[in-house]
Amino acid sequence: MIAFEYVSDDAALADLVAHYQQSDILVLDTEFVRTRTYYANLGLIQAYDGKRLALIDPVSITDLSGFWQLLSNPNIVKLVHSCSEDLEVFAHYGQCQPTPLFDSQLAASVAGLGHGLGYAKLVEMCLDVSLDKGESRTDWLKRPLSDAQLQYAANDVYYLYQLYPILKQKLIEQQRLSWAEEESQRMTEGRLAEIDFDNAYLKVKNGFQLNQQQLAYLKVLSTWRLQKATHRNLALGFVVKDHGLIGLAKKQPKNMMELGKLADLTELEKRINGRDMLAVMQKADLDNLPELIDVLALQPGYKAGFKEIKARLLEICEAEQVPSELMAAKRHIHDYMNWHWNNKQGDSPLLLNGWRGKLAAPALLSLTF
């Protein structure tokens, strides 16, 4: 049994934060529920500095501001595992990001232990400990939490503290510690930016199929959907699905009778949001039409160029013993090609920066495609 303290009031949290402020390393994890909501509903925060392992109850505590401030302390390394969703939680509830950051999943990948390793697998590989993941799907908002739930939560930070020196030593021996730190810190970038309501339409699946007039309708509909989702804390798909927005933009119904005939919308979507969507579509700015969505993969020469870049990167990965998932991911190649075909204007792509740039830039810049 792992010893922990359950922190459920403001005074206990203040004492804990004062203690953690003197720490060099702080392991972090969160437990939350996210089924129909836009934002995760935070149920528990786990923290451990090697001395005090705390399970912090955000349902009971009224003021978490001291804890959020702790996460920005530059003198404390924040240790996490596969933290993308945790970072969303910190951004939404604390308007903060944990810096400096060290993600053990990324570190394991950089060190050559395997890409995308789960926490339990990594613990088993490095510490020869088998963890019970039986509570991974549980209601973290329900109170009281069971002993099994609490032990499960404590495990997630207790063993991660032990993993850190092992991973760090491997990276130092390979002269790649800075790589792992670079990858970890990049995960926090842009997470505190305000929600971009105006450009929500660019994230709608298959938006590239629409002409400019149709995009004008998609733009106002997507902005309305995102505003409603954030205001009511509903997942986007539980307001209206992407398929429904595309159908509305293409067919542009003028009244409830026409809207009722749309097969792209569910009956529930029509009944709850039909009139609102018709009203929103009246606001489409048809005098200032959006630009067509340019799909890079449809351009002539894309497939050949992609294949050539991918092959060159895989050669580098093999020679340098770098996981191909880190170096040759599709999105990285796509960004490089977009930059190259845009006359090398705008921000330099990731493949030309940091440790990737040191390995790949000479080879990539010599390519013509």
pLDDT at 196: 97
Q: Using 50, 70 and 90 to split pLDDT, how confident is the model at 343?
A: confident
Q: Is 152 one of the annotated active-site residues of the chain?
A: yes
Partners of 77 in beta bridges: 25
What's the confidence (pLDDT) of residue 132?
80
Helix (H) or strand (E) holding 134: none
Tell which wins on pLDDT, 138 or 198: 198
Residue 297 has pLDDT above 80, yes or no: no
Give me the pLDDT at residue 316, please: 97
Is a pLDDT exceeding 70 seen at residue 209?
yes
Instruction: Give residue-wise pLDDT tens across range 241-283.
Output: 999 999 999 999 999 999 999 999 999 999 999 999 999 999 9
Query: Going by C-beta distance under 8 Å and a sequence separation of 6 or more, which residues neighbour residue 64?
Result: 13, 56, 58, 93, 94
C-beta separation of 69 from 95 below 8 A: no
Tokens of 180: 């792992």
Q: What is the pTM of this model?
A: 0.92
**For the segment 159-208, what is each residue's pLDDT rounded down to a tens digit?**
999 999 999 999 999 999 999 999 999 999 999 999 999 999 999 999 99
By DSSP bridging, strand 41-48 and strand 101-103 are unpaired
Which residue of the set 48, 49, 57, 86 is catalytic? Answer: 86
Q: Is the pLDDT of residue 133 over 80?
A: no
Write down the pLDDT at residue 368.
83
For residue 301, count CB atoms less than 10 angstroms from its CB and return exposed for 0-12, middle for 13-18, buried for 19 or more.
exposed
Q: Are 226 and 195 in contact (CB under 8 A)?
A: yes
Q: Summarize pLDDT for 33-44 with one digit per residue, the tens.
A: 998 999 999 999
Residue pointed to by tokens 């050559």: 112
The C-alpha torsion from 273 through 279 and 281 to 287, rounded to 10°, is -160
* Helix axes 267-281 and 212-232, enclosed angle (nearest 10): 120
- The per-residue pLDDT for 348 is 94
pLDDT value of position 273: 97
- Annotated catalytic residue 38: no
| 121 CB neighbour count, 10 Å cutoff | 14
Catalytic residue, candidates 38, 48, 152, 201: 152
Instruction: Give the helix, strand, coil percentages of the chain, each rounded to 5.
Output: 55, 10, 40
- The whole-angstrom separation of Cα 83 and Cα 184 is 9
Active-site residue (options: 49, 57, 156, 242): 156
Catalytic: 335?
no
User: Do residues 321 and 331 make contact, with C-beta atoms less than 8 angstroms apart?
Assistant: no
* pLDDT of 235 higher than 70: yes
Task: Tell me what pLDDT residue 135 has.
Answer: 66
Q: By percentage, how much of the chain surpasses pLDDT 90?
A: 92
| Residue-by-residue DSSP string for 99-121 | SSEEEHHHHHHHTTS-TT--HHH
Q: 132 with 119: CB under 8 angstroms?
A: no
Q: Output 288-291 pairs: Cβ under 8 A, ≥24 positions apart.
A: 289/212, 289/213, 289/215, 289/216, 290/201, 290/212, 290/215, 290/216, 290/219, 291/212
| Contacts with 314 (C-beta within 8 Å, 6 or more apart), sequence order | 324, 328
pLDDT tens digits for range 58-117: 999 999 999 999 999 999 999 999 999 999 999 999 999 999 999 999 999 999 999 999
Q: Is 31 a catalytic residue?
A: yes
Inform me whether the pLDDT recorded for 300 exceeds 90: no
- Mean pLDDT, the chain, rounded, equals 95
Burial of 324 (0-12, 13-18, 19+ CB in 10 A): middle
Query: Domains, the chain, ranges and CATH?
Result: 5-186 (3.30.420.10), 200-281 (1.10.150.80), 296-365 (1.10.150.80)
Instruction: Please give the average per-residue pLDDT across 342-363, as a whole number.
Output: 94
Residue 358 neighbours by CB under 8 Å, 6+ apart:
none
Structure confidence at residue 117 (pLDDT): 96
Confidence of residue 12 (pLDDT cuts 50, 70, 90): very high
Q: Is 10 a catalytic residue?
A: no
Contact 89, 58 (CB under 8 A): no
Q: What is the pLDDT of residue 136?
A: 66
Mean pLDDT of 138-166: 95
| CB contact set of 16 (below 8 Å; sequence gap of 6+) | 5, 7, 47, 52, 54, 56
Q: One of 20, 31, 48, 181 is an active-site residue; which one?
A: 31
Kindly give the pairing relationship between strand 25-33 and strand 41-48. Answer: antiparallel
